[in-house]
Chain A
Amino acid sequence: MTTFIDGLSLGSIYALIALGYTMVYGIAKMLNFAHGDVIMVGAYAIFSTLAVTGHPLVGVLVAVVICTVLGVVMEKLAYKPLRGASPLAVLITAIGVSYLLQSIAQLIYGSKSRAITLGNFESIKIGSVSISSATIITLAVGAVIMVTLTLFVKYTKVGRAMIAVSEDRGAAALMGINVNFIITITFAIGCCLAAAAGLFYLLQIPSVTPTLGSMPGIKAFTAAVIGGIGSIPGAMLGGILLGVIEKICLSIPVLAPYTTAIEFSLLIVILLVKPIGLLGKKRREKV
């Protein structure tokens, strides 16, 4: 039971990252490889402001602002010039951006992992199960963010414009939607979510390294693909599923060393059996 709840909380981190991936993929039709590293930037932002001000909440606010700005800058400088170029070029650039962020972080902060304390979290006992309050915060805030995001996309003007752009970019532009603006907004939201994911990551593993974002990033992409890329409920489902599977594997001694291999094999199997993912929509390819 404890394993399951740990899995849920890890899963909600993955889900938050996967949401960023899936939104950007759905709207800009590109895989933002640097998304995982935005989490890292968020974590370092929290780390630095915490060292200066000593207040976790300020750190979170600063992290959200920095990540959002970073998302917009990244989109404008690296991805916008390549709009209309081949997907391969965009993908390679995204890998470059990911590397750029990692190496800059390493040059500034060094490659050593640094410990960070965000406050004391007591564990709460419910029946026979004890849950850390950090887990509860993660689950609660994660759920709130996901619901808000779903409502935002469904009922606001910008959200609907996003759906329109992801359905058909050309038609959306003809209907008077500013496609470039929508893509920028999507990057901003995605990176904002990544900052939140960075916070939750620090609640679980309280140390920062320049490469902390790459593995969760890749795993979250796995989650997004499992759930069906471009689908918001799919990203949540995939994220939570992957988190639970990871924690269950880690709790079984025989499987524990192979956890990463199992997760990635799951990705390959899903892609082979059902390439559109669990909740994805099928798209026809046109000439």
Chain B
Amino acid sequence: MNLIKNIKANTKPKYFTNYIIVAVMLAVTLTMKMTGNLARSNATLLAQISYSIILAVSLNLVVGFLGELSLGHAGFMCVGAYLGCFVANMLHEFISSPLLVLIISMVVGGVVAAVFGFIIGLPALRLKGDYLAIVTLAFGEIVRTIFKNLKAFGGALGLDSTRYKGNLFVVGFVVVLVTLFIIQNIVRSKHGRAITAIRDNEIAARAMGINVTYYKLFVFVVAAFFAGVAGVIYGHFATPVLYSFFSYNYSIEILVMVVLGGMGNITGSIIAATAITFINFQLQTRLSGDLAALKFLVYALILIVVVIFNNAPALSAVREKFSIRRFLKSKRHPSEVHDDEAAWDRVPTKIRMDEVLSVDVIVDDPYTPDKKDPTTKGGSN
């Protein structure tokens, strides 16, 4: 019985929608590719979408689930891109299969980024909120400055990486599926519950015996790993890998995806990452020069409006009224009172009590005091 319950809980459609969304995207584009309907520029766009989703989902783990702001996500991506492509360049001499090289370099890039995530996670243990945000921001800048000046990685000219020969977006989307599998399972496990408990109240979480140190480091390492992997994918179609791409602005762009999709909502991150990357791709050619600032203007407005709407204490009534979830649940008029679940006669325990009482009355027991004297009715049930 328990087993069936567990299976039922784990196969809730909610957890599968994300896989289905990504798998459908992959299937559709792959068939388009097979039939020759996919333009070359669209293949690039798809690769961009794949690493954007990885970045947004992994940042969501930090911002939405752990509740700390990281402004250095592009920094981790930078580490992954440089190191991964550096390794890939060396491996190309020994291994002929580009796919194998890509996989190895993704692992290397991810692991090195994870090591940096651990290092950055260490100050995170003593800091919170604004301080941590500024430390991660500082980290992003430090990484950029260092790669800009290291001759081994091409210095100011950037690192020459090799373009991936096959369909990068297919690999990208498979990695997205793996990422989703790992991150969703972390979130749903007891570790995920601990992480959200830390977000909601760190002191209370500590009091409940949750190892806050361990979980904060854990989240930073996991998020950094996936950012590094995303960096390697980026490095395999953008050549040279240039330090200036991984600026603070890019970290903010990822944050916009997370905020727009909803903090703590993975499906939202996927959709927002896809949408924003698509819009960026379209605007790239259409907005030239100073009009490009319009894009950032829109980002800024998204950040401000979405955050104020979702968080302002004064707007909680409005939020309640226009909530999508509520809209999906019941289409009744908002003014109508419907507390049937709380109504006393529908509460299961009450019903059972009534049944028990009525049984008592029915029992025909000659020895009960009520029955001895038929004139006095037993009204004391």
Assembly CA distance A97 to B308 (angstroms): 12
The digit string for B229-252, where 1 denotes a CB below 8 A from any CB of A, is 000000000000000000010001
Which chain A residues border B296 with CB–CB below 8 Å? 99, 102-103, 106
Known A-B contacts A260-B141, A264-B139; the reply to A85 vs B300 at CB < 8 A is: no
- With both chains docked as a complex, state the minimum distance between the C-beta of B292 and any C-beta of chain A, in angstroms: 8
CB pair B290 A268 closer than 8 Å: no
Assembly CA distance A287 to B248 (angstroms): 34
Which chain A residues border B123 with CB–CB below 8 Å? 268, 271-272
A149 within 8 A of B: no
Stretch in B3-11, B93-101, B143-151, B356-364 with 4+ CB within 8 Å of A: B143-151
- Cβ-defined partner of B129 (8 Å) among A81, A88, A260, A271: A88
A141 within 8 A of B: no
CB pair B133 A31 closer than 8 Å: yes
Assembly CA distance A190 to B319 (angstroms): 33
CB pair A264 B142 closer than 8 Å: yes
Assembly CA distance A31 to B263 (angstroms): 20
B337 within 8 A of A: no
CB pair B290 A110 closer than 8 Å: yes
CB pair A257 B145 closer than 8 Å: yes
A145 within 8 A of B: no
The digit string for B289-330, where 1 denotes a CB below 8 A from any CB of A, is 111011111011111100110111111000000000000000
> Which applies to chain A's interface (DSSP): helix, strand, loop or mixed?
helix
Which chain B residues border A221 with CB–CB below 8 Å? 134
B336 within 8 A of A: no
Assembly CA distance A95 to B163 (angstroms): 35
> Which applies to chain B's interface (DSSP): helix, strand, loop or mixed?
helix
- With both chains docked as a complex, state the minimum distance between the C-beta of A27 and any C-beta of chain B, in angstroms: 14
B273 within 8 A of A: no
- With both chains docked as a complex, state the minimum distance between the C-beta of A245 and any C-beta of chain B, in angstroms: 15
Which chain A residues border B315 with CB–CB below 8 Å? 81
The digit string for A249-287, where 1 denotes a CB below 8 A from any CB of B, is 000000001101100110110011001000000000101
Q: 11 A-B residue contacts at CB 8 Å?
A: A86-B311, A87-B129, A95-B255, A96-B302, A99-B303, A100-B297, A218-B137, A264-B139, A264-B141, A267-B134, A271-B131
Report B's interface with A, CB cutoff 8 A.
63, 67-69, 71, 122-123, 126-127, 129-131, 133-135, 137-139, 141-142, 145-146, 148-149, 203-204, 248, 252, 255, 259, 263, 289-291, 293-297, 299-304, 307-308, 310-315
Report A's interface with B, CB cutoff 8 A.
25, 30-31, 78, 81-89, 91-93, 95-100, 102-104, 106-107, 110-111, 210, 214, 218, 221-222, 225, 257-258, 260-261, 264-265, 267-268, 271-272, 275, 285, 287
